Structure 1
Amino acid sequence: MENSMEKSEDLQPQPVYPRLTIEEIKTEVLSHLYLEKGLLSTFISMLKRPSKTVEIYLHGNRRKIQNPFRYLIIGVAFSTFIMLANPSFRNYISNIQQSSKGNYDQLDAATGLSFYEKFTQAQEIYMSYQNLVLTLAIPLIALVTFLFFRKKAYNFAEHMAINCLVFGTIYWLSGLFSLVTFFMDYSFIIYLSWFLTFAIGTYLYWKVFSINIFKSMLSILSAYLAAMVVGIFFQIAVFLVLLIL
């Protein structure tokens, strides 16, 4: 009886699974790298047709555009990685920290606390966690553009998406610029980097919001100021936590 059951099981057709293909491997790799929805094409499209790209995401087929928040996070991570790997940047930051060491030494001697050590640790954390800082800053940046361009009929959530695309593009371009100038003196490159990020931010706001250049410059400057305020508060909070621990 058992033999007949075994034979009947052997005679049952075995399931046929599809063969692994190069196309399937490619899809899985792109999905793992978050490129399946056109990260590169979104970056290029934001440089060439920023207004149209934004409109496609907000009112068209969103599947054609990389998710704005993911686009921003990956761009910031890429830029931060290149920046922190640059020995010239490390030397630049070290020189800045050393220049302020004398003031902290006086505080350390007066209070018995390690102000300088905690200050440098807070700066390291701030630079390493740019993703978190920008995530916290985006709502405030969105508020800036929401107030600047109230007549554009974008709601607050749409302003957040727009600024994720804008600042994502800025960080992607900044990362590529840092990669190209990797072996150059950072004390000189930093000024070019500031000019580049300001220029591209002005251009993107100008195109996306259809405004004049002067208003675009003023609004991107305000957006950078908002991001800077969040960054300062982040460093202060981290510094105080480290001081307490």
Structure 2
Amino acid sequence: MNCKNCNSTLRTDYSYCPDCGGKVVRQRITNKSLIYDFLERYFNLDNTFITTIKHMLVKPENVCGGYINGLRKKYLNPVSMLAITLTLSGLTLFLMKKIAWESIDFGSISYAQTSAGGEGTKKIMASTMEYSSLLYLAYIPVLAFAGLIFFNKKNYNFAEHMIIAIYGITAFSIVSSVYSVITLMINPQFYIDYALLYSLIMILFCAYVAYRNSKDSVKSLFWRVPLYFVFFLMGYMGLSILTMILLFLTGEVSVQDFMPKK
């Protein structure tokens, strides 16, 4: 019996190839095995996914610090966490566009009003949604820089803070996706009206993860967390400005969208 991946000779009782690590497949693909294989590869059904989420909530330093220090099997890796998050984000956008969009009163959204009223806000939000995945990815280096500056007593480098930021933002997104889906299906206006509060909680959670991965004192949180928040807000504003410039350059929005209606 030979390995289908590297052609090495295998014993009949092997489940994995000792040379390349490939799984030994003996049976035909069925609907059941296809679903299981997808879920196993995507979520690591050997409890890795559940353990990662649970530990990110109560002891994130074990997850992030473990990965940084070479632990690879106990927790789901950050790339898989990011892939799951982007998939759930796609589901949220789908619900937003297909179910919630027409029932939202854009004229009542106080934090995103333009002089053109609800129609201008609606158009700008619709255009911005097209780049939501890119914006989400852009938040990660901003969070990593904030952690590097304000939560770095362990002297982690920027790449290591990227790992902490990815784990922090994806864990929050995965857990909060339940809230997002339910709220969009039941009360989409509530979801939109309190989007800023949702973002604030996300930043605070990422600050919590950064703090738990540092050796900073509890008392220092009184100045570290506000500065962390301000730094992220500056980065967020910068990304928002770049997004608006991109929307203007591509013609998706225009000056008229910001002008009051006559």
Q: Identity across aligned pairs (percent)?
A: 21
Q: 2:73 is paired with a residue of what secondary structure?
A: helix
Task: Identify the residue that residue 126 of structure 2 maps to in structure 1.
Answer: 124
Task: Identify the residue that residue 206 of structure 2 maps to in structure 1.
Answer: 201
Q: CA deviation at 1:164?
A: 0.6
Task: Identify the residue that residue 19 of structure 1 maps to in structure 2.
Answer: 27
Q: Distance in 1 between matches of 2:236 and 2:196?
A: 18
Q: CA deviation at 1:210?
A: 3.8
Q: Distance in 1 between matches of 2:127 and 2:116?
A: 22
- Long gaps (5+) in structure 1: 1-16, 106-115
> Given the alignment, which residue of 223, 236, 245 partners 1:227?
236
Contact preservation (8 Å) 1:42, 1:65: yes
Contact preservation (8 Å) 2:141, 2:162: yes
Stretch deviating more after TM superposition (170-179 or 86-95): 86-95
Taking structure 2 as the reference length, what is the TM-score of the superposition?
0.65
Q: Which amino acid aligns with 2:57?
A: L
Residues 165 and 99 (structure 1 numbering): CA distance in 2 closer, same or farther, change over 3 Å? closer
Q: Distance in 1 between matches of 2:101 and 2:154?
A: 40
Task: Identify the residue that residue 151 of structure 1 maps to in structure 2.
Answer: 153
Q: Which amino acid aligns with 1:231?
A: S
Residues 195 and 146 (structure 1 numbering): CA distance in 2 closer, same or farther, change over 3 Å? closer
Task: Identify the residue that residue 238 of structure 1 maps to in structure 2.
Answer: 247
Match status 1:102 vs 2:116: yes
> Given the alignment, which residue of 171, 174, 189 partners 1:172?
174
Contact preservation (8 Å) 2:152, 2:214: no
Residues 121 and 180 (structure 1 numbering): CA distance in 2 closer, same or farther, change over 3 Å? closer
Q: Which amino acid aligns with 1:135?
A: L
Task: Identify the residue that residue 44 of structure 1 maps to in structure 2.
Answer: 54
Contact preservation (8 Å) 1:143, 1:156: yes
Q: Distance in 2 between matches of 1:77 and 1:21?
A: 25
Q: 1:181 is paired with a residue of what secondary structure?
A: helix
Stretch deviating more after TM superposition (80-89 or 127-136): 80-89
Task: Identify the residue that residue 62 of structure 1 maps to in structure 2.
Answer: 72
Identify, as 1 or 2, the structure richer in helix: 1
Residues 197 and 181 (structure 1 numbering): CA distance in 2 closer, same or farther, change over 3 Å? same
Q: CA deviation at 1:147?
A: 2.2
Contact preservation (8 Å) 2:172, 2:205: yes
Task: Identify the residue that residue 10 of structure 2 maps to in structure 1.
Answer: none
The size of the alignment, in residue pairs, is 216
- RMSD of the alignment, in Å? 3.7
Match status 1:35 vs 2:49: no
Q: 2:242 is paired with a residue of what secondary structure?
A: helix
Q: Which amino acid aligns with 1:242?
A: G
Q: Which amino acid aligns with 2:247?
A: V
Q: Which amino acid aligns with 1:66?
A: L
Q: CA deviation at 1:175?
A: 1.7
Match status 1:78 vs 2:78: no
Q: Distance in 1 between matches of 2:129 and 2:252?
A: 18
Q: CA deviation at 1:192?
A: 4.9
Q: Which amino acid aligns with 2:232?
A: A
Q: Which amino acid aligns with 2:250?
A: V
Task: Identify the residue that residue 14 of structure 1 maps to in structure 2.
Answer: none
Residues 165 and 225 (structure 1 numbering): CA distance in 2 closer, same or farther, change over 3 Å? farther
**Structure 1 residues 66-109: Cα deviation after superposition (integer angstroms, max 9, x where no partner):** 2313413432441453255145566447324995353899xxxx
Q: Distance in 2 between matches of 1:31 and 1:45?
A: 20
